[in-house]
Structure 1
Amino acid sequence: MVEQAERTAAQDASRIRSHIRSHIRTVQDWPQPGVAFRDITPLLSAPASLRLIVDALVARYRDQRVAHFAGLEARGFILAPLLAYELGAGFIPVRKQGKLPYRTLSQSYDLEYGQATLEVHVDACAPGERVVLIDDLIATGGTMLAARTLLERLGGEVLEGGAIIDLPALGGSARLRAAGLPLFTLCDF
C-alpha cells in the first residue's frame, strides 16, 4: 500500500511538472536585454491550471500550521492570498520600497538584473508565528532571502520558501538552501 501511494504521488508530481512546463511562456530580453523571463500568466489564465497549482501547494502546507503566507511582490501576491484563504491563514504583502502605507522595515538585495529593496509592515506578524514565503519562481534567491530577513526581524518563524518554478541554473535554490531555508517548488525550468 505504501509503495502504491508513493508511486501515485510521484506520478502526480510528474504530471504537474509537465503541465506547468507546457504552460510557461518565455519572453526573451525582458525586462532587459539578455534576460529570458518565465511568464506564468498563461498558466494562471487557464482555470484548470490555476486549480492544479493551488491544490498542489495547499496539499504541501495543509498540516504545517501556517499562520501567514507572505506573498513576494508582485507575482507572489497572486498565490499567497489563495493559499491563505484555503488554509485559514493570513496574508502578508512583501512589497517594493515605498508601496506600503504604514511604518515598515526595509531590506535591500541583489536581483539577477539589478538591485531592489523590499518592505513589510512592522506589525505584519508576531514573534513565533509560522510563515511561508511564496513567489512565482526562484531565480537568484535574493528576493526570498530579503523577505526571510524581514520576517525574522519581526520574530516570525519562516518555515519554507515555496514557488511554482525553480530556475536552478541561476543558483538561487542552492543559495537559499545553503542559507538554511527549505524550499518547495512544483517544477524546475
Structure 2
Amino acid sequence: MQADSVDLIRRAIRSVPDWPQAGVVFRDITPVVQDARTFRVLIDLFVYRYMGKRIDLIACVDARGFIIGSALAYALNVGFVPIRKRGKLPRRTVSESYTLEYGTSEVEVHADAVRTGQRVVLIDDLVATGGTMLAAIKLLQRLGANVLEAAAIADLPDLGGSTKVAVTGTPFYAVCTLKDGED
C-alpha cells in the first residue's frame, strides 16, 4: 500500500525543463495538490508518519511548503509557523541568507514564532541543494526549537541537499526521490 502511494506521488510530480532559467529542471508539485486523491494520499502519508510523535508545531517554507504544512498541521491538531521570503512578515523577524541552484535568497520568521524547547517538524515541497531547508533549520534552532525532522515531498539527491541536511544532525525524510533524468 505505501509503495503504491509513494509511486502515485512520484508520478504526479511534473518536470519542467529550463525553468526558471536554462539548465534548471523545475519539479512542479501542482499536479499533486490539484488531484484530490493524490493530495489526500500525500497528507495521509505525512500524518501517519508524525501522529503520536508529540509535535508542537509544523514549520513550513514559503510558498509551496505552506500548502502541505498547513494541511498537515490541521490534521495533527498542532500550530503552523510560516517561514517566509524576506520582507513578507510584518513584525520583528530573524533572517538567514542562503544559496540555491540558480541564485541567492533570504528567509525569515517572526522572532516569537517558536518558544524554546518546542518540538517542530519542518516541511518543504522538495530538497534540491538544501539551501532553503538549511536556512530554515538554522532559524528554528536560533529561536530554541527542537527540530525533530526536516521533511519534503521529494528529495533530489543528485543536488546534494538531503546530505547537507543530514550533516546538521537533523533527521531528513522525503516521501519520494527524484534523480536527474527521471520524469
Bin the TM-score by the shorter chain.
over 0.9
State the TM-score, normalized to the length of structure 1.
0.92
The one of 1, 18, 26 equivalent to 1:29 is 18
How many aligned positions are there?
178
The one of 18, 33, 46 equivalent to 1:44 is 33
Cα drift, residue 17 of structure 1? 2.2
Cα drift, residue 158 of structure 1? 0.6
In the alignment, structure 1 segments of 5+ residues that lack a partner are 1-11
The one of 112, 128, 133 equivalent to 2:122 is 133
SS in 1 for 2:121: strand
State the TM-score, normalized to the length of structure 2.
0.95
Q: Write the deviation string for residues 50-101 of structure 1: whole angstroms up to 9, x where unpaired.
A: 0000000000110111111011011011011111111111000000000001
Q: Matched residues in 1 for 2:150 and 2:5: separation?
A: 19
Indicate whether 1:77 and 2:66 are aligned. yes
Q: Write the deviation string for residues 11-64 of structure 1: whole angstroms up to 9, x where unpaired.
A: x33212211121111111111111000101011100000000000000011011
Q: Matched residues in 1 for 2:26 and 2:2: separation?
A: 24
Q: Matched residues in 1 for 2:160 and 2:43: separation?
A: 25
Cα RMSD between the aligned structures? 0.8
Q: Matched residues in 1 for 2:118 and 2:148: separation?
A: 10
CA contact 1:13–1:186 (8 Å) conserved in 2: no
Q: Matched residues in 1 for 2:124 and 2:141: separation?
A: 17
Q: Matched residues in 1 for 2:43 and 2:111: separation?
A: 28
Give the percent of matched residue pairs that are identical in Structure 1 and Structure 2.
Answer: 53
Q: 1:3 matched to which residue of 2?
A: none
Farther-moved stretch of structure 1 (155-164 vs 15-24): 15-24
The one of 99, 111, 114 equivalent to 1:122 is 111
The one of 142, 149, 152 equivalent to 2:138 is 149
The higher radius of gyration belongs to: 1
CA contact 1:16–1:186 (8 Å) conserved in 2: no
